[in-house]
Structure 1
């Protein structure tokens, strides 16, 4: 009896902590890394347990939006630290991306997104005419 009460109390406390930190989690999930070159960028997002069909990516100008829908684990857990719900992470890119040249791959819980710089955003050399 004592242990049932203890776990119930602990679960209620954990739920309160989850609710108060939910906004922070929504802003920080998923964790990402951004690597960039002159004309290409690579974004790695840690999304363990997420399926490809639960991911939605959108590129517009200098931003990549990553939307994730993650269902809660069914059943009553004594403790659950696995995030669930809907999340959106907007990543500011170092350049405008070409939406036709985006490649996304999900492997071993890591989403890799390669983006190519838009041609109109690339630096151009300008010839100087002598007079």
Structure 2
């Protein structure tokens, strides 16, 4: 085994000063963010969230993601090591993102958000004139 030990990471419940009207916990989903010359891609783990339970909103500079988990228990719960709850997370979006071209897809509990960069921000080659 390597020097790095495997560590179990617990789900972190969303901490907010506001009172929730929904019963049950709301978790902050884990996110990986990737960047290339054309876009940012957010990969967000939201297990148990169906397409119709997902909301992605962009208001002003805030991109918010909310996933509602609908899991039917096969019977009365006797013991559980896995807490089921909804997911919520928000991101500040810079002015360099083309808001009209943001797209989202959900597959196997993983939400992928693609945030294309505005044309003015993309790298470009500048032609050099002779003389």
TM-score normalised to structure 1 length: 0.60
Task: Kindly indicate whether the alpha-carbon contact (under 8 Å) linking 1:102 and 1:113 is maintained by their aligned counterparts in 2.
Answer: yes
Task: Kindly indicate whether the alpha-carbon contact (under 8 Å) linking 1:98 and 1:118 is maintained by their aligned counterparts in 2.
Answer: yes
In proportion to residue count, which structure has more helix?
Answer: 1
Partner Cα distance (2:101, 2:84) in 1? 31
Gaps in structure 1 of 5+ consecutive residues: 1-20, 126-131
Partner Cα distance (2:71, 2:107) in 1? 21
Task: Kindly indicate whether the alpha-carbon contact (under 8 Å) linking 1:62 and 1:93 is maintained by their aligned counterparts in 2.
Answer: yes
Q: 1:124 offset after TM fit, Å?
A: 9.2
Q: 1:72 offset after TM fit, Å?
A: 5.0
Work out the number of aligned pairs and report it.
104
Gaps in structure 2 of 5+ consecutive residues: 1-11, 16-24, 125-131
Q: 1:98 offset after TM fit, Å?
A: 2.0
Answer with 33-42 or 53-62: which moved more: 53-62
In proportion to residue count, which structure has more strand?
Answer: 1
Partner Cα distance (2:50, 2:38) in 1? 29
Corresponding residue for residue 33 of structure 1: 32
Query: Alpha carbons of 1:68 and 1:60: their partners in 2 closer, same or farther (altered >3 Å)?
Result: same
Task: Kindly indicate whether the alpha-carbon contact (under 8 Å) linking 1:59 and 1:97 is maintained by their aligned counterparts in 2.
Answer: no
Query: Alpha carbons of 1:23 and 1:104: their partners in 2 closer, same or farther (altered >3 Å)?
Result: closer
Partner Cα distance (1:59, 1:46) in 2? 19
Corresponding residue for residue 4 of structure 1: none
TM-score normalised to structure 2 length: 0.60
Alignment of 1:50-129 (within 5 A): 50-60=49-59, 62-74=61-73, 75-80=75-80, 81-85=82-86, 87-93=87-93, 96-119=96-119, 122=121
Corresponding residue for residue 42 of structure 1: 41
